[in-house]
Chains A and B, each alone.
Chain A
Amino acid sequence: MRGWLLAILIAAGLLLANGVFTGAFGAGVALPPYVLQVLCLAGINVTLAVSLNLINGFTGQFSIGHAGFMAIGAYASSYFTVTFGPALRTSLGSLPLFVQDSVVLLVGLAIGAFLASIAGFFVGVPSLRLRGDYLAIVTLGFGEIIGVVILNIDAVGGARGYSGIPKLANFFWIWIFAAVTILIVYRIVHSSFGRTLVAIREDEVAAEAMGVHTTRAKVISFVVSSAMAGVAGGLFAHYLMYVNVRSFNFLKSFEIIIMIVIGGLGSISGSVLGAVLFISLTEGLREFAQYRMVLFSLLLIILMIVRPQGILGHKEFVTFLTRRRRSIGAAPGTTGNA
């Protein structure tokens, strides 16, 4: 009961914030469009980072092809809203416009998430049998293959990019899905299945000896993570109204990895922190754009040398402050799957 109340409160709060920021309550309290866009992109990054953390941080399987699934979500949902959106609207003709918008967006996102999770399944089944660094390379390869395939589909614009996507996503939807992603990952991690995932991260052989079907658990975690990346991609496309394969190349995957590594692999609040830090730094250093990635990569190397577990490590923000409860599955001195 309390959970529902909280959910309704969060949704109402976001709706209110959306109204205030976009100027529904007068231009005086509205945010400048640039700040609003940064906030929205931050929300998409939070979704991406938290979903990638499920597979990289909690399951300990280092995937670096997350942007590929984001691309599938973006293209699939956009293709739906552009091609079938008008027809869906006609069938909803009597309903108010914002309901129509929401229905079209939600169906589009569902399709994007579904296709991304299918792709996640087909990528995950062969590659998740591999350990550590092999998996990293294979996911990187699959991510690039997804890009090449999309580039060759002319119906979605090929190398020109896909334009004319209706602007259906806004601050409210982006942060609702960020909250939903956080909730899903939190619930998974704190379930018995989540303990299975953490067991795989800590010691795959021991987990298998305890009767965990490791490949199955890893594939499930990978599929869920891909679906959420698909949603993030769909929101990205419907917020910027234009997508290009180049936005989803391995550099995007690396960006998401930097976010979760900075925040701490295996910490949900760490991913949120990492995503927000990353976008603040990126936007703050806009004047020095060409030095930005040099700085980030240097930061990543130094972080690995000085504090390889990231800012929060396996801990959550609350436990990090109070230090009373031990974080989920964090054994002393472990730094992840060897």
Chain B
Amino acid sequence: MTTFLQQLVNGLSLGSIYALIALGYTMVYGVLRLINFAHGDVYMIGAYVGYYLSRRLQGREPSLVSALLVMFGSMIACAILGVLIERLAYRPVRREARLTLLITAIGVSLFLENLAQLLFGATPRFFPSLAPRTDFHIAGMRLTSEQITVIAVSVLLMVLLRAFIMSTRTGKAMRAVSFSLDASKLMGISTDWIISVTFALGSALAAAGGVLIAMQIPKIDPLMGITYGLKAFIAAVLGGIGSIPGAVLGGLLIGTSEVMVVGYLSSTYRDAIAFGILILVLILRPQGLLGRVQKEKV
């Protein structure tokens, strides 16, 4: 039982990172109906920005303040990157066929991966520890301070996001745009601005996820965005793409099931389990757990 609880905590901590990345996928899909392939790579860039910022801060005593500083810096950098990607690559092809948009997204993803290899080098780097580490022992379980930080920060960010979307004017406009882009344009919403805000928010969340996972693992490399990006995308599909609570639920489920499979079966299935879940979801409930069924109209 203790082992199970321990695995559950590990799973929730991994899952909340998937949830943070999945939010970006689901928000962008909501407004543009686009799978933003580059999202996983934004997350990778977030981890690298965090790495360079924390190298700057090195020499100081590891503290919660510097950890937060690193995280905010990387979130701001990635928000700018996300807006730039949308402005320069996606906006010119937005009115083209969806396939064109998808190929552009693949192009951006490849570009970021290769640029990162060029700039940061292909060898993995070790992320310095930012906050003092302590282990807590509760009811026989071992909780690391990183795990607690991850869960706390993710929950905080998700609550803030929820508040932003549900109670601000911009958030309301975001919901309107994801309901119908054309109708919200007719209602006087500046859709370009809303799409930019969506990219900024999604990318900032991905950056937060990148820094959090880098603190935990602690190893980063230019291709790390691919597996995490794919699993987070699967989490978004599992929860119902376009649905924000769905992304959180999907992320937690994927993270927990991955940790359980590794813990109780074998670690070789680590990457296969997410795809297995994806295939099952697409066959049994293609709209996802919390998604709406979309009728196809001619």
Contact = CB atoms under 8 A, between A and B. Distances in A.
B240 to A, nearest CB: 13
B93 interface: yes
B107 A300 contact: yes
Contacts of A337: 97, 99
Given A137-B233, A290-B118, A304-B107, 8 more contacts: A62-B99, A127-B282, A133-B98, A136-B35, A254-B106, A334-B97, A335-B99, A338-B98
A305 interface: yes
Contacts of A338: 97-99
B189 interface: no
5 contacts: A134-B286, A138-B278, A254-B110, A293-B113, A335-B96
Q: Chain B interface secondary structure, helix, strand, loop or mixed?
A: helix
A32 interface: no
B271 A132 contact: no
A232 B83 CA distance: 41
A62 B103 CA distance: 9
Given A140-B230, A152-B268, A304-B103, A132 B282 contact: no
A257 interface: yes
Contacts of B103: 257, 261, 300, 304, 308
A281 interface: no
Interface of B: 34-35, 89, 92-93, 96-100, 102-104, 106-111, 113-115, 117-118, 226, 230, 233-234, 237, 268, 271-272, 275, 278-279, 282-283, 286, 296, 298
A87 interface: no
Interface in A123-142: 126-127, 129-130, 132-134, 136-138, 140-142
Given A144-B271, A206-B298, A294 B104 contact: no
B231 to A, nearest CB: 10
Q: How large is the interface on A (under 10, 10 to 19, 20 to 34, 35 or more residues)?
A: 35 or more
Nearest to B268: A152
A291 interface: yes
Contacts of B93: 304-305, 308
Nearest to B286: A130
A38 interface: no
A35 interface: no
- Scoring A62, A134, A140, A141 by chain B CB atoms within 10 A of each residue's CB, the highest score goes to A141
B96 A257 contact: no
Contact of A141 (B34, B115, B275): B275
Interface in A288-338: 290-291, 293-294, 296-298, 300-301, 304-305, 308, 334-338
A297 B282 contact: no
- Scoring B99, B117, B296 by chain A CB atoms within 10 A of each residue's CB, the highest score goes to B99
A294 B96 contact: no
A50 interface: no
A205 B283 CA distance: 20
A126 B110 contact: no
- Scoring A129, A136, A145, A301 by chain B CB atoms within 10 A of each residue's CB, the highest score goes to A301
A272 to B, nearest CB: 20
Nearest to B115: A294
Contact of A294 (B111, B279, B283): B111
A301 B230 contact: no
Contacts of B113: 293
A64 B107 CA distance: 13
A336 B103 CA distance: 12
A284 B155 CA distance: 51
